[in-house]
A and B are shown apart, each in its own frame.
Chain A
């Protein structure tokens, strides 16, 4: 993209926003550690991989589907293009890779200016569309909250979720599946939390709040190390909307983590459901939501599958070399935005599941101690030389004269011999066994070519031109129109309770329509 003053102003505003938000997230969490994986070292490797590869990979996606259309798709369902993976990791990992390369003297702060501005512009367009429902750029901007979903989706949740009490079969099944999914997700993602996502809260009345809880990349799919693991699980992504009574979620942050008062307890969960969604679904697809016994039995079965998968995968990973653990973790982190390629129908593991040779050359530096300390300097101490700014500056949280991520100098508008970008994709490799298994999708276990073909041909009906721009603000004054009814019926199509009801419902109507 061609640089101009306004674009550069916007890029620097977003760089500073992500920088400030990331610093707050890092200092209020803890050092990432694991006795199993060399986590900080692979994180740094992933940042470098992101810097060298993402601009070209994202440009390829946008030749098929724009960032804002991806945001529209992600907003309507639970895709891995969410708060943590796309809205935060995308800009943050890319910029941290750039910062590390600047600290090593390999980049100047004006180098790759067109790449940097493009990645920031992509991020802004995606985030604005993804957050269209609450009209913020990040969860932090909204006071650590995300309200992505429209009324038509939330009404289906409210009408169809099954009420539960501690000790009943469905409550127990949901609690056990939730915990097992969380455990498996950390393992499948090599200790990263990015397979887990939470969004909301949404007000459900009578002191109740809804949190939408998601888990991604559970079955055979993009990660080569999941070949042969969890093959009995028919869904790659699962969502469990939970309603809690007497619990207020005061923080749902840009990492998709939540905090609430009182502390989260399954005892306070009063309603649950189960859904799946992916690049081929019309929004959320109910899973075994016909009746509570079927749902409980399904959750119990999935929990057993995931529990076995956890043991199977742990034994596999326990036999990995350090290089394989480095590559696995770095690939998890540097493919956080791979699902853009799935939406476009152009996913290619040769492009995504590899460490660029320009990033891989740094492996001899990435011992455990260097990884721990360099990451600490980069995101905690902010003591890397390039992060220092003039002595009068006071950063948002620390009040110190530093910023985690350097801005672009405006001098690039006057020329000056900088390189526009990192250049074309270069070869990459991985020390892990190559992908051979199937891809688990909502249309069955597919070969990649078929998955890409279906994805390229698919566009959800809610994203058709006649519906795409119809938001709740439009519904406010058009709810009696046939067009509004048609839009709502799309979301109600698979609803046990609201199928065909249309746009005129209010909360008070749902109780009489709710089917057991």
Chain B
């Protein structure tokens, strides 16, 4: 008898994966005997005798009926199926992060991040939170406002593809210096902090100073734990 968990296995650790996998395993186990031990038919399963899309749709319905809503990563997912995904959190207020400390010169430290490339000096600009296709489309048509320090909650390299070159600086709220956005800003020579943690005191339109002159974080620093964080200050009005 086929035992997909095996001698040393346990069920998956994340709830949604476990939910789907346990039910699929059960369905397949029930149906596999009907093939009469024909492993070639089972492995190819070109008729969908063991599993079909309708089975997975039924499992999803069961999960959603219990009140579960999926977390989204791509905005298209929640746009197409708002009832299946959790509501989108606000984009202007960062989720969590570093504390806030006054520097004594009017600057208020509002966060930190991993510096990609050490620059000769810090950079000041206007923080603009960018997380939607509509925002990118607007900047593609009307141009990127000058002095934009883009605060991007996506370490990928495609959301801001047509406008990235126009940013004076980037603060990425995820990823590492090895992420796609890190690779691209390095190629463009755009100052960039990855893996930023921001306090709640920074809002769209605030003037900021970013410590792009801080030491660069090498990829290996994530394994050794030796990364030095570059600071982000909100500037007085």
Contact = CB atoms under 8 A, between A and B. Distances in A.
A455 interface: no
B53 A360 contact: yes
B178 A30 contact: yes
B98 to A, nearest CB: 20
B2 A423 contact: no
A37 B4 contact: no
A182 B184 contact: yes
Given A105-B24, A105-B28, A388 B6 contact: yes
Interface in A87-104: 102-104
A418 B21 CA distance: 23
A314 B162 contact: yes
Contact of A386 (B4, B17, B116): B4
B140 interface: yes
Given A104-B24, A370-B17, A388-B8, A33 B154 contact: yes
Contact of B44 (A40, A175, A259, A423): A423
A102 to B, nearest CB: 7
A37 B187 contact: no
Interface stretch (B68-76, B103-111, B198-206, B227-235): B68-76
Nearest to A311: B162
Contacts of B29: 105
B34 interface: no
B232 to A, nearest CB: 20
A196 B222 CA distance: 24
A36 B189 contact: no
B137 A318 contact: yes
B213 interface: no
Interface residues of B, number: 87
A246 to B, nearest CB: 15
Nearest to B180: A186
A367 B153 CA distance: 20
> Does more than half of chain B's interface fall in helix, strand or loop, or is it mixed?
loop
A195 B145 CA distance: 31
Contacts of B186: 263-264
Interface stretch (A292-300, A319-327, A445-453, A485-493): A319-327
Given A33-B73, A314-B162, A105 B157 contact: no
B13 interface: yes
A289 interface: no
A155 interface: no
Given A182-B183, A363-B53, A364-B53, A34 B20 contact: no
Contacts of B76: 36, 38, 320-322, 325
Contacts of A388: 6, 8-10
Contact of A401 (B8, B131, B157, B162): B8
Interface stretch (A68-76, A107-115, A458-466): A107-115
Given A257-B178, A368-B72, A39 B156 contact: yes
A362 interface: yes
Interface stretch (A118-126, A347-355, A375-383): A375-383
Given A33-B155, A33-B156, A367-B60, A372 B9 contact: no
B60 A190 contact: no
A265 B8 contact: no
A265 B13 contact: no
Given A264-B186, A426-B46, A36 B133 contact: yes
B9 A111 contact: no
B13 to A, nearest CB: 5
A30 B40 contact: no
Contacts of A386: 4, 6, 9
A377 B184 CA distance: 28
A195 to B, nearest CB: 11
Contact of A36 (B50, B59, B71, B156): B156
B176 A178 contact: no
A374 interface: yes
B16 interface: yes
A421 B75 CA distance: 38
A59 B162 CA distance: 40
A191 interface: yes
Interface of A: 28-30, 32-40, 102-108, 111-112, 175, 178-180, 182-184, 186-187, 190-191, 193, 251, 257, 259, 261-266, 310-311, 314-315, 317-318, 320-322, 325, 357-358, 360-365, 367-374, 376-377, 381, 383-391, 401, 417-424, 426
8 closest A-B pairs by beta carbon, nearest first, are A385-B9, A34-B156, A423-B44, A186-B157, A179-B187, A373-B14, A419-B43, A364-B56
Given A112-B43, A364-B60, 18 more contacts: A29-B178, A35-B131, A35-B153, A36-B75, A38-B76, A106-B28, A106-B43, A183-B164, A183-B184, A314-B140, A318-B137, A365-B59, A372-B73, A376-B14, A417-B37, A418-B39, A421-B43, A423-B43
